[in-house]
Amino acid sequence: MLSTHLTAKVTGMADELVHYEVRRGIATITLDSPHNRNALSSQLRRELKEHLSTAASDDGVRVVVLTHTGSVFCSGMDLKEAAGASAGDQGVNEFPAILEQLWTSPKPVVAALKGPARAGGVGIVAACDISIADAKATFAFSEVRIGVVPAVISVTVLPRLLPRQAHELFLTGETFDAQRAKEIGLLNAATDDVDAEVRRYTDMLALGAPNALAATKEMLQQERSTNLGEVFADMLELSARHFGGPEGQEGITAFKEKRKPSWVPAES
């Protein structure tokens, strides 16, 4: 059931680095650490993880938008913080949990970039369901140029990228623009009006039934058997379950009655 409030903020300290707001079913999570280009410091990682968990568990949230303040979306791991630290203290063990939260979130996640992303920041972009960037934004897998391996982010990035492009960009660390990022599968859109494109996508996503969206995300990420008979059997079971479920029946009834289904947020 949709939340009745228009706006709600998670309370926190004034010096928080990640903000959370819900408005008309859209949870907006904002990275707000411009002093270090929204680098993935321990505090930012902790707060981002908490807000993602809050959004996932809130029945009033239909779509999550991940955005930022400042000129950079995310510059990757906080290298100043990581200097001299052991692998466990560098967020290597913690960051995968954030990428997994984004990848497996039952609510669609839209990344809204008005600036560059690097390294771990690109991993976040890839983990989101829909990613939209300013046409002037740039990207790079810069890890090899500082002597490290883009290992963790490869889990979310490689399923998105064309293999030949992935080899080139991972090995060279070359900076590439938003248009190329779209062409190779990293972005859905490169635009001069990020806000308008984000609204277009969130408006469309809000039309989907919550359980159907979550099940569709899970289906898209499943490994499929090479046995077509088994696959069809599984898909028939999934289809029948949702056809006969409350959402499916409400959607069919709404179609017959020429009205919007009950899950569609009320217009402002």
Active site residues: 143
Contacts of 243 (CB under 8 A, 6+ apart): none
* Token pair listed for 207: 């039309």
3-state secondary structure the chain: CCCCCCEEECCCCCCCCEEEEEECCEEEEEECCHHHCCCECHHHHHHHHHHHHHHHHCCCCCEEEEEECCCCCECCECHHHHCCCCHHHHCCCCHHHHHHHHHHCCCCEEEEECCCEECHHHHHHHHCCEEEEECCCEEECCHHHHCCCCHHHHHHHCCCCCHHHHHHHHHHCCCEEHHHHHHCCCCCEEECCHHHHHHHHHHHHCCCCHHHHHHHHHHHHCCCCCCHHHHHHHHHHHHHHHHCCHHHHHHHHHHHCCCCCCCCCCCC
What is the Cα–Cα distance from 231 to 234, expressed in whole angstroms? 5
